[in-house]
Amino acid sequence: MDKTTTGDAVKMKDLLQCKSLENAEIIIQPTDLNAPVTGINILEATDIEKWAKPGMVILSSYFALHSHTRSEMQIFFEKLKQLSIPCLIIKVDRLINEIPNDFKEFCCSYEIPLIRIGGDAKYEDIIVEVLSIILGNREKQLALYYKVSKISSEMTLEMLNNREILNRFKTFLGFDLTLKGKDKRKAITTNEQYLNLVVGDNLEFFHSEYMTFGYKHYQCQAGRASANTSPSVVLVEFSSSEDSIETLAIHETKEHKVDENDIVVIENLIRCLQLNQLREFSGKQKLLLNKNTLVNDLLRGMITDPAEFEAVCANLGIAPNGMCQVLTIIYTNSNKEDEISLYDVKNQFRLELNRFREQMVYYVTPRYDQYILSYQKDERVSFDTNKIKNTLGRKIGGEKFAGTIHYFGGISDFFPVKEIASAGSQSMAVADFLAQNYASDTVMEYRNLGLFKLFLGKDAARINEIVPEELIHIKIESPELFTTLVSYMKNNRNFTLTAEQLFLHPKTVKYRINKIVHDYNLDLNNMYFVTLVQAAIEVMEFQDAHRFE
């Protein structure tokens, strides 16, 4: 692939070679002969910010300037500088015989080249010649653009990867290229010595109408070996399909600098990379969607054929004859404003879990996520409850949410992989029970639920239905009596042990218990009722635990 000669963009040095300006006099010499010339226009009013464009040459007979004060003239020149006007051409022998000295001083002060033409020079000759050069150059650049676009399309059809794309464009551009993301992926380069290139001072860079991305120009930091061969680099940031930022580095050499024709090629290169990123991302999303569906089918017990079950397990990296444990995390109180932030938190949490166990597979929904931890029968692994709570708390605390996000996690017992649906149901039941009845963010294992196992499942009675109203009244009306009752029941209705625990006299404890029995009509000699009270106290303490701040 070979880049055809198209000629550089029109510059000041090209303007000075125009035949229509052969009798012109250069009053203020240009400091940069490579300054771009993008157009030419006649000055009819000094509101150039409304119609002039960067790189536009200005023609004038001084008609729009003759009545300007010095302060107004200064404002005019500041506009010229801001717009990067490359040159002023003033016609004399019509309205003025000579260009005023203060105007020359302004041109010199603001480093704007000044050309004097006589009364016999024709505007139309100058305009036609300059525009002919510009249009001819643009025609060549347009041809280059279509040629590169065609090549980019061919690369896309060839399904090249990013490294192959960079190598093709290196041949076309003549520059070494490096692609680097802000994540931890290794950079891709056409020259390994540029992998550790460190940029130094910011350098000026020209503007081109073909630029649609942000271009930055840097000196390469001295002392680096690569800086000897690449004294400067052009960096272009662009968004990839994964909502992350990629940076393309174009490594200049002492002999070869990026010009406007290169910009046309670089723009096509970036779009080619973006299209390739999109293709790769779409492929990954399709694989993730298929994987998500397979995990869901396993957890719901929808795969009953033994051969199909083994095939799905093999696809997911699960040993079909091994053991498994399922974690379900339910998220509550999220709203539409928090969907993106919560998605990021869940994604970061999955990455943390994958570090803990590489073979982790998961099923993702907007409201809850389920994770399967599988292992061979001779292995000993399980979910770490404290690590899960600490990680989730840290990730949620590190994001800005419009509302308050809470999480409730349920961890199943250990099941054979063939009974993975039972593990999934049990884990979901625990998480759902906690979301309905627990007061704080938490993660709990099924084996540690105690009597609360009785209340799992959608058909079970709600937990607070077993709490007698009398206990609620005691707790509200007389917290002191309630504290005594709780200690009394936990000490197997022993007055002495209760007194020691509460630092009271046994007679005081006995008085309080008798008062509870009398005032609230509690029969603490009935073993059935005593069992009910003990269970109710556990429920009340469970609901009071770790209240939200």
By C-alpha distance, which of 353, 355, 283, 288 is closest to 315? 288
Residue 224 has pLDDT above 70, yes or no: no
pLDDT for residue 206:
82
pLDDT: which is higher, 433 or 277: 433
What percentage of the chain has pLDDT greater than the value 70? 85
> Cβ(178)–Cβ(190) under 8 Å?
yes
Question: Is the domain of 350 the same as that of 485?
Answer: no
CATH label of the domain that carries residue 185: 3.30.450.40
Using the 3D structure, point to which of 459, 489, 522 is the last residue of a domain.
Answer: 459
Domain contains 294: no
How many angstroms separate the CA atoms of 481 and 488, rounded? Answer: 10
Q: Where are the beta strands (DSSP E) in 400-502?
A: 406-411, 415-416, 442-445
Q: Do the domain assignments include residue 289?
A: no
pLDDT tens profile 384-397: 888 899 989 888 88
Do 27 and 93 sit in the same domain of this protein? Answer: yes
**334 and 438 both lie in a single domain:** yes
C-beta separation of 165 from 273 below 8 A? yes
Contact status, residue 392 vs residue 329, Cβ threshold 8 Å: yes
Confidence at residue 86, expressed as pLDDT on a 0 to 100 scale:
94
308-314 mean pLDDT: 88
394 in any annotated domain: yes
Model confidence at 367, pLDDT cuts 50, 70, 90, reads confident
Residue 141 resides in a domain: no
C-alpha neighbours within 13 Å on the C-beta side of residue 309? 17
Question: Is residue 460 scored above 60 in pLDDT?
Answer: no
Q: Specify the pLDDT at position 338.
A: 81
More confident residue, 452 or 347: 347
Task: Write the CATH number for 118.
Answer: 3.40.1390.20
Residue 17 has a pLDDT of 92
Q: Left, alpha or beta for 480 (phi > 0: left; psi -120 to 50: alpha)? A: alpha
Name the nearest CA neighbour of 350 among 279, 266, 292.
Answer: 292
Q: Is 222 in the same domain as 360? A: no
Residue type, 408: F
Q: Which range has highest mean pLDDT (184-188, 355-359, 496-500)?
A: 496-500
CA distance 393 to 503: 38
Q: Is residue 425 part of a domain?
A: yes
Specify if 223 maps to a domain: yes
**Mean pLDDT computed over 399-419:** 89
User: Closest Cα partner for 117 from 91, 135, 148, 98?
Assistant: 91
pLDDT band at 11 (very low <50, low <70, confident <90, very high): confident
Tokens at residue 34, please? 């490579």
Same domain for 333 and 421, yes or no, is yes
Considering the chain, what is the average pLDDT of its residues?
Answer: 83
Residues 419, 481, single domain; the answer is no
Q: CA geometry: angle at 95 spanning 70 and 23, to 5°?
A: 105
- The answer on 312 and 259 residing in a single domain is no
Residue 535 shares a structural domain with residue 430: no
Structural domains in the chain (count): 4
Q: How far is CA 336 from CA 339, 347, 403, in A?
A: 5, 17, 10
pLDDT band at 284 (very low <50, low <70, confident <90, very high): low
For position 336, which CATH number holds?
A: 3.30.70.270
How far is 172 from 388, CA to CA, in rounded Å? 51
Determine the average pLDDT of the residues in 6-32.
86
Q: Within this chain, do residues 128 and 71 fall inside the same structural domain, yes or no?
A: yes
Q: Which residue has the tokens 């049990």?
A: 426
C-alpha 216/C-alpha 232 separation (Å) is: 11
Q: Dihedrals φ, ψ of 511, to 5°?
A: -65, -45
For residue 339, being part of any structural domain is answered with yes
Q: What is the DSSP letter of 301?
A: T
| Rounded Cα distance, 189 and 182, in Å | 15
Asked if residue 472 and residue 444 are part of one domain, the reply reads: no
Residue 1 belongs to a domain: no
Burial class (CB in 10 A: 0-12, 13-18, 19+), 401: middle
Question: 40 is in which domain, residue-wise?
Answer: 12-134
Token pair for residue 350? 């999955």
My answer on whether 316 and 433 are in the same domain is yes
| pLDDT higher than 80, residue 321 | yes
Residue with tokens 């009722």: 529
Please tell me the predicted confidence (pLDDT) of residue 58: 96
CATH assignment at residue 481? 1.10.10.2840
Contact 468, 536 (CB under 8 A): yes
Which of 459, 489, 524 is the last residue before a domain boundary?
459
pTM: 0.46
Task: Decide if 372 contacts 297 (C-beta within 8 A).
Answer: no
* Calpha distance 446→159 (Å, rounded): 49
Task: Write down which residue in 433, 459, 485 finishes a domain.
Answer: 459
Which tokens in the block code for residue 294?
A: 């397979």
Radius of gyration of the chain (CA): 39
215 beta partners: 236
Q: Report the alpha-carbon angle 504-510-513, nearest 5.
A: 110
Confidence class of residue 337 from pLDDT cuts 50, 70 and 90?
A: confident
Instruction: Return all residues near 257 (Cβ < 8 A) that are at least 6 apart.
Output: 232
What is the C-alpha to C-alpha distance for residues 56 and 383, in angstroms, rounded to an integer? 68
| Mean pLDDT in residue range 324-337 | 85
Asked whether residue 408 falls in the same domain as residue 513, the answer is no
Paired tokens of 528: 């059935």
